[in-house]
Structure 1
Amino acid sequence: MKNWQHFTLKLTASLTLILGAPSSILTHLPDRASAASSKQNTTSKIKSILEKNHVRGSVLVVQDGKSQTVNYGYGNYKNKALNNRVLYPLGSMEKVVTGAMMTQLIFESQDSENPITQDSKLSRWFPKVKGSKNITIGHLMTHTSGINIIGTERTQNHFYSETGAIQWAINEINSTSSSKRDSFNYNNANYLLLAGIIRKVTGKSYDTNLKNRIIKPLKLKNTFEYQDIPKNKTIATSYGYRHGRSYQDPVKVTKALASQLPGAGNLFTTPQDYYKIMQGLYNGKILTPTQYDYMTTLSAKKTTYSGGIYRRAGGKFKVAYGNIGYTHFSNWMELTPDNANGIVIFLNQTPSDNGVAKKVGYKILQTMQDDFFVEG
């Protein structure tokens, strides 16, 4: 009888606590359940889209300022490393980091005797580069310099220092015919030279600037240049989907290849850290909104590309792509400028190597916010 009375008292007390609770608590309980259900539903939809398109990787989606990450598959199939424990090569999506640091230096120099602007000539720092008297920082940041070298993503089977990689690019520029200046011609060498300018202006390595200007202010825990990756991290391997089978034809980014691309593609990170970088471009931790607008609307641009970012729909969205030649990696980002809505998607398995992340990313976006993001 005592046990039954004790149970009755506990039940009555519990009901009193709930039924007599403030309405805000009562309404909060189903809200939490609804949020959990919505998150689970989003996860299920994203995994289904990834599976149907035979891709593997990590996806970060943002709705109304709230982010959610979905990992699907292995970052390294051999040791079964899950994608939430791996670092992806950022590829060309690193260029916005280089562009942001160059923009910082432009604004920091405005009170000096010889300020840097988007019209400052390359010859100020690299007078021996062919055509440097007619190439500006703006040309480099918008890929309109006329520089036209090849092979930056084909391994030279040599580990370069930063200065060595930049000098290799300069040697190639000086021995290669240029394309038409003031026309858009995407080339990694533009951002290799920007990395060199950052070194010259600050007297410190690109790597040191990266740590001091980007990683430390944003407290990034999973963003490294190749040579700085800790042993407890796993570097993603890329795979192809071939003949109905996953995890085929494994290809890695080697230390030698990464060393060729300081400022243009030697950074490794996660979608979560990359999203923090995007936030930093707008919240004052890296750039202010005014500085971001400056970087992404340079006067030298001939397309919507400027400072590592494509601005779409009159600036309504910001877009960036990234891959590494001769691998199966495919990365893509599309966010609103305030970072409140959008997606960051890093894939390490693709059925083809061209534009897969964008294709899959739009399918995911359309399940979240139909007609808000329109493929183009």
Structure 2
Amino acid sequence: MKRPKKQTGKLLIPIAIFLPLLLVIVSWTAGRRYAIKRDNLPKQSIRASVKASPKQTPAPKIAPNQHQLSSHLMGPTNSELQTKLVTSLRNIGFIGTGIIVKHGQIVAVSANGFANLTTNRRNGLDTTFNINSMQKAITGTLIMQQVVAGKIKLTDTLAKYYPDVSYSHSITIRQMLNMTSGLTMGSMGTGPFVNDEMTITQDIKRLQFNANFYNKSNYQAVNYVLLAGILEKVTGKSYHDLVMQRIVRRLKLAQTAFSYELTDHDLAATSYNGPREAPYQKSLTLDLNQQHYELGTGQIFMSVGDFYVTVRSMLDGTLISKADANILFAGNYGGGFYNRPQSKLANGAGVYFGSTIHVSKDGQSGIILMSNYAGDYNQLKLVANELEKVVFTPETNHD
């Protein structure tokens, strides 16, 4: 009896089709598992893996922490300005980070001292500092955005929003932006923080109206606390959320945070005080309740780069139009800036931090100095005044 012949040819055809299909399925499954696993990694881990890539462009030599800044912000080093900046800050024993900007790019950097002595972390371009009163320009810009949206008028009186304030029927939004309202308040709130509304309610009980300062310049932080409250009333959003949505996320700032939300990721500097020969003698731990009370006027940490991008965006038409910026920042002091013939400037000091910015009217040139040592504040303002004479002149050489 003959055995049936093996049908090997017919079997080979299905196998030839099946094996490649099987390989595709296995490959897709493995890739999908990797993608899911990677997507579930913490964002910090993903960033770290990107930095480790051999294809990553190495950081410019201008500063060790440069990789944290957007590449478009860095320009070629201007040797003349670099020398002037480093020398000027060395002469005052500066502790902090300073930059000079020309044509919208950083061309000089000087970072000195420790951001945190305990952890041996030095100041750099990625260090964030409490900007204190320089925050007022952010509040002013948010107000102007609501003016453009038709929710606020510069001629509105304070009585429309806070009628319990003395003489509020005679005080306009414009006057508050210009620090000519006549309102005064000795100190910010104290005790446990409840919410922004309660903070303003308590401030209203303590503020006073001084007729001698009405329509005259008198720098009083309470004006901007109330402006922050007005923003919350007309938008239905917290001041915090407005800053995050309309400034931080819009500009894609990576080194900006509210002081009461700081984490290790924010690389915030610790502030110090002591004699010049022992500047780290005393450190300060932030009182988070007190930081909440600085509503709209001094509760944000930023790097020098983030703050420059923010200010430039206020002046170049990004956050508000150039015409609206001219209206907002008008006067001896307006919207958060003092005005000079060729520049605008703002200062900030408190909780052992001190900062200053001098910026050209178009936002393309600037000097920003941020310090985490209380002894630097008055001297760094003098340094900025001297640097302005060189930075804002067309004769400065460019490499």
CA distance in 2, matches of 1:309, 1:149: 21
Q: For 1:208-357, what aligned pairs fall within 5 Å after superposition?
A: 208-242=241-275, 244-297=277-330, 301=331, 304-313=332-341, 316-324=342-350, 327-351=351-375, 353=377, 355-357=378-380
After TM superposition, give the deviation of residue 219 of structure 1 in Å: 0.6
CA distance in 2, matches of 1:55, 1:70: 9
Q: Does structure 1 conserve the Cα–Cα contact (< 8 Å) formed by 2:162 and 2:168?
A: yes
CA distance in 2, matches of 1:284, 1:168: 37
Q: Deviations over 1:226-282 (max 9, x none)?
A: 233233223322223515233233234321221111111111111100101111112
SS in 2 for 1:281: helix
- Identify the residue that residue 360 of structure 1 maps to in structure 2: 383
Q: Does structure 1 conserve the Cα–Cα contact (< 8 Å) formed by 2:284 and 2:352?
A: yes
CA distance in 2, matches of 1:108, 1:258: 29
The structure-2 alpha-carbon separation of the partners of 1:55 and 1:198, relative to structure 1 and needing over 3 Å to count, comes to same
**Structure 1: which amino acid aligns with 2:369?**
I
After TM superposition, give the deviation of residue 40 of structure 1 in Å: 6.2
The structure-2 alpha-carbon separation of the partners of 1:88 and 1:246, relative to structure 1 and needing over 3 Å to count, comes to same
- Identify the residue that residue 119 of structure 2 maps to in structure 1: 79
- Identify the residue that residue 97 of structure 2 maps to in structure 1: 58
CA distance in 1, matches of 2:374, 2:356: 13
Q: Does structure 2 conserve the Cα–Cα contact (< 8 Å) formed by 1:59 and 1:71?
A: yes
CA distance in 1, matches of 2:76, 2:230: 50
After TM superposition, give the deviation of residue 79 of structure 1 in Å: 1.6
The structure-2 alpha-carbon separation of the partners of 1:206 and 1:289, relative to structure 1 and needing over 3 Å to count, comes to same
- Identify the residue that residue 31 of structure 2 maps to in structure 1: none
Say which one has the larger Rg.
2
The structure-2 alpha-carbon separation of the partners of 1:44 and 1:189, relative to structure 1 and needing over 3 Å to count, comes to same
Flag the structure with more relative contact order, 1 or 2, with Cα contacts below 8 A and sequence separation at least 6: 1
After TM superposition, give the deviation of residue 340 of structure 1 in Å: 2.0
- Identify the residue that residue 105 of structure 1 maps to in structure 2: 146
After TM superposition, give the deviation of residue 78 of structure 1 in Å: 1.9
Q: Does structure 1 conserve the Cα–Cα contact (< 8 Å) formed by 2:366 and 2:391?
A: no
Is 1:47 paired with 2:91? no
CA distance in 2, matches of 1:122, 1:42: 45
Q: Does structure 2 conserve the Cα–Cα contact (< 8 Å) formed by 1:54 and 1:350?
A: no
CA distance in 1, matches of 2:395, 2:181: 35
CA distance in 2, matches of 1:371, 1:54: 29
**TM-score, normalization: structure 1?**
0.78
**Structure 1: which amino acid aligns with 2:99?**
L
Q: Deviations over 1:198-226 (max 9, x none)?
A: 00000111111111111111111111212
Unaligned 5+ runs, structure 2: 1-73
Q: Does structure 2 conserve the Cα–Cα contact (< 8 Å) formed by 1:236 and 1:252?
A: no
SS in 2 for 1:246: coil
- Identify the residue that residue 228 of structure 2 maps to in structure 1: 195
CA distance in 2, matches of 1:158, 1:49: 42
After TM superposition, give the deviation of residue 285 of structure 1 in Å: 2.2
**Structure 2: which amino acid aligns with 1:276?**
V
Q: For 1:88-103, what aligned pairs fall within 5 Å after superposition?
A: 88-103=129-144
**Structure 2: which amino acid aligns with 1:178?**
N
Unaligned 5+ runs, structure 1: 1-34, 110-114
SS in 1 for 2:128: strand
Give the fraction of aligned pairs with identical amino acids, expressed as a percent.
24
The structure-2 alpha-carbon separation of the partners of 1:295 and 1:368, relative to structure 1 and needing over 3 Å to count, comes to closer
After TM superposition, give the deviation of residue 98 of structure 1 in Å: 0.4
SS in 1 for 2:279: strand
CA distance in 2, matches of 1:238, 1:138: 34
After TM superposition, give the deviation of residue 172 of structure 1 in Å: 1.1
- Identify the residue that residue 172 of structure 2 maps to in structure 1: 136
The structure-2 alpha-carbon separation of the partners of 1:141 and 1:150, relative to structure 1 and needing over 3 Å to count, comes to same
Q: Does structure 2 conserve the Cα–Cα contact (< 8 Å) formed by 1:54 and 1:241?
A: no
**Structure 2: which amino acid aligns with 1:312?**
R
- C-alpha RMSD over aligned residues: 2.6
Residue 67 of structure 1 is aligned with which of 102, 106, 110?
106
Q: For 1:28-43, what aligned pairs fall within 5 Å after superposition?
A: 38-39=77-78, 42-43=81-82
Q: Deviations over 1:37-71 (max 9, x none)?
A: 95566545433322220221111211233214332
SS in 1 for 2:141: helix
